[in-house]
Structure 1
């Protein structure tokens, strides 16, 4: 197999396997891999799905030589360097651990897994080796030219200290969406819109603002007959003193994803839906700021949209260099910790502080925390298609 430090030849193709052949694999993982393969040594050697017809059709359409219905068999026979997971969250822990034990790096679609306990079990499998294998989470919204530029402006306080922020994921999902048996179920989907939808914007907010300190929240089940919530709101205080509001909803016909950060000398705002370009960012200077300085803040450079491709490009560079990629380890865990804390704050009515949820806390093992009125009451489907 490809080993980054003991065999650093960049001429060796990175062997990739795709696990799960549904919509996210077809619409995001495969196109990203195909685009990158045109400019670097990379080969998609196999795909895996529990549905034989689905994986065979996927491989036939994409020109992939080896379809499998058994992950362990694929890992043993193909020895991929990288496994991309496009399966429902309930399978992520076992599939990631299996791939890591086989020596493969993992790029796992969000949500990362249903609990912090699962995430820590995955991280423990990465082992002590400095060159991997590592498991990274798909958080593509923090990649691209816009987020990179604004992250630098905030890190250097070019616009002054960040003071007030708003993070909004207000989308719309109808009854047909929740007719899929594993949706809206804690153990299979992991959570409601805070986990499955809003986690992208919350991850970007953390990437821009830095560590959070405490959170208060509310959650509701206003429309859909599901185990999880269908709307939540939260108040967050960051370590730097800034404060933020967060709204996650699947009840909003006028769909939008938005992050707004008010700094001492300017407001920066991102408005989009499922991905952003430079033009989706807007910087409004405070009175008294010169046009030259404001123009410098608005100099985003060449447009690199946020995308699976943008994140995967960096991950492949890290794989070849044998270094930990972004959105893995503690960097990947921080967004899941914030989501977990949001649920605990909402269901207990208390304030949750960063770092307080660990082994022994019911919210460490499950995001519902066995809370009355929120814990599961019905059986989870035995089989969930990838």
Structure 2
């Protein structure tokens, strides 16, 4: 039986969602597209063969009764769209970042619990076969103990990129590259290494005329004893997304930009571990690139089995807390631990806490 899916927000990312969902064949029935821009919604639905276009989410949900709603709006609209979908009995898959703040994230979690429906967040880099292999081999002990990791999102966004009114603003985007760009690599870092325990960070607004940071650097300690260096930037002309994990038995590297296949991975075994490490790496699941389709298939599998779809709220919260911790350490000048971004902290209320140490750009209100 097909899962009925509605898309809320019909911009660029929604097109990627629609194509990935179409790739799942008769497992999915795309029933509606919703956008505050009616012309955009109608054009989108015509392009993707979706029968119902509308501007009022509640009315569309009442008319079409989807099983699952994909929230593809700008980040500032995620919470309201997700709560509306939950109120009409739909499960929700929300693009990253799921909310603008940890307080909003708690409100989303409460709404999901009250509704009895599931909410998952899009972190598609977890779902390529290479990432699944890495997690499996680490958890099984083949790679040995985790020692050191490097997590780099060095992208380039010119000033014109921020002409879109909601970009580069704390109140509508939630942060800069730490929140909106590097969060994918940081989520995969956490998916492999688990809980973080301490963060020392630095954020700067070096070159872009925005409210948020345009780069950040962090040292992160993990519960298992590993440490990581994290860099996020939108100022880097030679763009790269890079993850490196140094284990006692091997180094595993992932180099790509916006998504990866098998050729993006490199494994170097420590002396004496070549046969065990390389045999296990090349013998595992292969051939699935990272991407929305792989995650969407996993979401459908979970819903059909009556399980929580990935990436779950508890997993997404850990990633959001790391983002908040990077801002907290950057703007207070002190190392922070998870308690420093818990309820009662200004960085729980908003990612920038009491505000960054630079002036906020005067901007028009976003409608």
- Which TM-score band (shorter chain)? over 0.9
1:15 aligns with 2:4: yes
CA deviations 1:101-159 (Å, max 9, x no partner) are 11101111111111000111000011267xx4111110000112100000011112212
Aligned to 1:209: 193
What are the Cα deviations for residues 229-275 of structure 1, in whole angstroms up to 9, with x where unaligned? Answer: 00000000000111100000001011000100111111011011111
Distance 1:300 1:25 in 2: 32
Report 1:138-287 matches (<5 A).
138-287=122-271
In the alignment, is the contact (CA less than 8 A) between 1:75 and 1:102 conserved in 2? yes
Would you say the 8 A contact 2:170–2:212 is kept in 1? Answer: yes
Question: What is the CA deviation profile of residues 5-40 of structure 1, one whole-angstrom value per residue up to 9, with x for unaligned ones?
Answer: xxxxxx3x21110011111111x100111111x142
Deviation at 1:303, TM superposition (A): 0.4
Secondary structure of 2:134's match?
helix
What are the residue-to-residue correspondences of 1:90-101 with 2, within 5 Å?
90-101=76-87
Q: Larger helix proportion, structure 1 or 2?
A: 2
Partner of 2:95: 109
TM-score, normalized by length of structure 2?
0.96
In structure 1, C-alpha distance between the alignment counterparts of 2:114 and 2:39, rounded to whole Å: 39
Instruction: Name the CA distance, whole Å, in 2 between partners of 1:376 and 1:342.
Output: 19
Query: Where do 5+ consecutive residues of structure 1 fail to align?
Result: 1-10
Matched, 1:357 2:341: yes
Q: Quote the Cα distance in structure 2 between the aligned partners of 1:371 and 1:270.
A: 34
String of CA shifts for 1:182-212, please: whole Å, max 9, x gaps: 1101111110000000000000000011111
Per-residue deviation at 1:372? 4.9
Q: RMSD over aligned Cα, in angstroms? A: 1.5
Rounded to whole Å, the distance in 2 between the matches of 1:39 and 1:54 is 26
Of residues 30, 42, 47 in structure 2, which corresponds to 1:61? 47
> Could you report, residue by residue, the CA deviation over 1:73-114 in whole angstroms, capped at 9, with x for unpaired residues?
111221111000111110111111111111101111111111
The count of residues paired between Structure 1 and Structure 2 equals 367
Q: 2:332 aligns with which of 337, 348, 360?
A: 348
Deviation at 1:291, TM superposition (A): 3.4
Query: TM-score with structure 1 length normalisation?
Result: 0.92
1:106, 1:91 → 2: CA distance?
14
- Give runs of aligned pairs for residues 273-312 of structure 1, distance below 5 A: 273-291=257-275, 293-312=277-296
* Aligned residue in 2 for 1:31: 19
